[in-house]
A and B are shown apart, each in its own frame.
Chain A
Amino acid sequence: DAGITQSPRHKVTETGTPVTLRCHQTENHRYMYWYRQDPGHGLRLIHYSYGVKDTDKGEVSDGYSVSRSKTEDFLLTLESATSSQTSVYFCAISWENEKLFFGSGTQLSVL
């Protein structure tokens, strides 16, 4: 999958707990993205990064934060998980903010 690894692949957690998802790339791509995908909504951008420590919000950023301290790692944190954050989360990378390559996804269930 274009040298991109998401962890964990599956997670079940309880409402109110913090959760961190990790995206790791070996391609040295400048851009990294976090999306969530829900039935009827398609892919929705949560946050993205255009360089180390350079991040910006997407259309559904409330309740999420990100960090990128190294080129290869982009972390997504749910500060206090809610049931509405149950979703499939995809990380993606891109060299020039054009052609995106996606990770395998993380299925998150918040009970």
Chain B
Amino acid sequence: QKEVEQNSGPLSVPEGAIASLNCTYSDRGSQSFFWYRQYSGKSPELIMSIYSNGDKEDGRFTAQLNKASQYVSLLIRDSQPSDSATYLCAVNSYSGNTPLVFGKGTRLSVIA
């Protein structure tokens, strides 16, 4: 059973701080990794993808991947109240047509 684990939160950070969201996965053969953001009552939307070890930056978001430790994280710099949402980690192992495996998500609350 391939698993993706996230702390459910809530993770509360003050406005302007760095929010750090973490995800671990069980399948060592996993090849690609995604972060989705889901606002309350809305559908998930893709915000970051990462395929290689190291950091990938996109605006205020940085995804970090460490395949040896089976760990992927999302950093949100200068957190804003509008970043308050649930963040879902998803992992793809490229095993035939097997779909992505999603974590249950971490709820982030940015306090103004």
Which chain A residues have a beta carbon within 8 Å of chain B's beta carbons?
1, 31, 33, 40-43, 45, 48, 50, 56, 58, 90, 97-105
B70-95 interface with A by 8 A CB criterion: 88, 90, 92
Q: Is the CB of B97 within 8 A of A41?
A: no
In angstroms, Cα B99 to Cα A31, docked, is: 9
Closest residue of A by beta carbon distance from B34: A99
Residues of A with C-beta under 8 A to B92: 97-98
Q: Is the CB of A43 within 8 A of B49?
A: no
In angstroms, Cα B43 to Cα A33, docked, is: 14
Question: 12 A–B contact pairs at CB < 8 A?
Answer: A1-B43, A31-B97, A33-B99, A42-B102, A43-B88, A43-B102, A48-B99, A58-B99, A90-B44, A100-B44, A102-B45, A104-B42
Residues of B with C-beta under 8 A to A50: 97
Count: A-B pairs, CB below 8 Å = 50
Residues of B with C-beta under 8 A to A100: 34, 36, 44, 46, 90, 100
Residues of B with C-beta under 8 A to A104: 42-43
How far, in Å, is A53 (CB) from chain B's closest CB? Answer: 14
Whether A101 contacts B99 in the complex (CB less than 8 A), given A42-B88, A42-B105, A43-B88, comes out as no
Contact of A101 among B46, B90, B98, B102 (CB under 8 A): B46
Closest residue of B by beta carbon distance from A104: B43
Q: Is the CB of B99 within 8 A of A45?
A: yes
How far, in Å, is A50 (CB) from chain B's closest CB? Answer: 4
In angstroms, Cα B102 to Cα A1, docked, is: 20
Whether A97 contacts B97 in the complex (CB less than 8 A), given A1-B43, A43-B102, comes out as yes
In angstroms, Cα B6 to Cα A65, docked, is: 30
Residues of A with C-beta under 8 A to B22: none
In angstroms, Cα B97 to Cα A48, docked, is: 9
Select the residue from A43, A99, A105 with max chain B CB neighbours within 10 A.
Answer: A43
